[in-house]
Amino acid sequence: MTDDQAAEAEPVTKKDQALQAAARCFVEEGFHGSSMSRIAKAAKMSVGHIYHYFASKDEIIAAIVREEEIKADEKLAYFRSLPAEALHEALITKIDEAACHLSDMFHSVLMLEILAEAARNPEIARIVQELDTSMRNGFIEIIGQRMGLSNAEARVEVLFSVIGGLAIRAIRNPDFDRRSVVPVIEGVIGQILSEH
């Protein structure tokens, strides 16, 4: 790695460090309970350093949502790369993985904190809705066009509702065994992805 590459890599590392610290603060103290100085302390940086990367907490939330968008785009690209006959099994496998991730307590609290802020803040709402629209359209294309299933839009809405509901369950019942619901979720997803 050259000095130029190292210099370019360092800001990404510091920015990621700030994002991770902010996410921890949002989970522990809520969005409004987390000041920029608290985030800076958690990141072991100066407040000025945090402001170098993010002008506001809204920008931090936007960056967290954009990270989710990158992950979603990678998943959609993976599904698009598969032959149509492999999609059913691949979707069940990847959606199971997503279900376990989304039902993780930390991730659940963070996503619900972001959604709560989206309900109050039009700019955050716009970013969250853009991500949802992009994911929805991608899955509608895969389920409707690639897999040839009818009523793809409704199937995607139900699929997203089932998966998104796991985040709420993780908070309402922190003792629920995520692994025990996986076979049931596989069955539900299998039904959603099958013509009856």
Claim to verify: residue 65 and residue 156 sit in the same structural domain: yes
* CA 3 vs CA 8, 9, 17: distances in Å: 9, 10, 21
Claim to verify: residue 28 and residue 111 sit in the same structural domain: no
CATH of the domain at 85: 1.10.357.10
Query: Residue 91: what pLDDT?
Result: 87
**What is the rounded distance in angstroms from the CA atom of residue 186 to the CA atom of residue 192?**
10
Claim to verify: residue 1 and residue 94 sit in the same structural domain: no
Give the length of the chain. Answer: 196
* CA 39 vs CA 15, 19, 31, 64, 117: distances in Å: 12, 9, 11, 14, 17
Query: Residue 16: what pLDDT?
Result: 93
Claim to verify: residue 31 and residue 107 sit in the same structural domain: no
Query: Residue 7: what pLDDT?
Result: 44
Which range of residues forms the domain containing residue 26? Answer: 1-55
Query: Residue 95: what pLDDT?
Result: 76
Query: Residue 12: what pLDDT?
Result: 52
Q: Which residues of 137-165 are buried (b: 16+ CB within 10 A; e: fewer)?
A: ebbbbbbbeebebeebeebbeebeeebbe
Q: How far is CA 6 from the centre of its chain?
A: 29
Claim to verify: residue 99 and residue 153 sit in the same structural domain: yes
Query: Residue 164: what pLDDT?
Result: 86
Give the orientation angle of helix 57-81 with respect to helix 36-43, to 10 degrees.
Answer: 60
Domain count of the chain?
2
Claim to verify: residue 2 and residue 96 sit in the same structural domain: no
Query: Residue 18: what pLDDT?
Result: 95
- Single residue among 29, 55, 81 that ends a domain in this structure: 55
Claim to verify: residue 34 and residue 87 sit in the same structural domain: no
Claim to verify: residue 178 and residue 154 sit in the same structural domain: yes
Quick one: tokens of 39? Answer: 């985030």
Claim to verify: residue 38 and residue 67 sit in the same structural domain: no
Query: Residue 62: what pLDDT?
Result: 94
Instruction: Give me the tens of pLDDT residue by residue for the chain, a chain 196 residues long.
Output: 444 454 455 555 899 999 999 999 999 999 999 999 999 999 999 999 999 999 999 999 999 999 989 988 999 999 999 998 899 888 888 877 777 777 788 988 999 999 999 999 999 999 999 999 999 999 999 999 999 999 999 999 999 998 888 888 888 988 888 778 888 888 898 899 998 6
Claim to verify: residue 134 and residue 68 sit in the same structural domain: yes
Claim to verify: residue 118 and residue 70 sit in the same structural domain: yes
Q: 41-48 long-range CB contacts below 8 Å, 24 or more apart?
A: 43/17, 43/18, 44/17, 45/14, 45/17, 45/18, 45/21
Claim to verify: residue 96 and residue 123 sit in the same structural domain: yes
- Rounded to 5°, the CA angle 156-168-173 comes to 135
> Are the beta carbons of 150 and 86 closer than 8 angstroms?
no
**What is the rounded distance in angstroms from the CA atom of residue 153 to the CA atom of residue 43?**
41
* CA 150 vs CA 11, 66, 79, 139, 143: distances in Å: 47, 31, 18, 13, 8
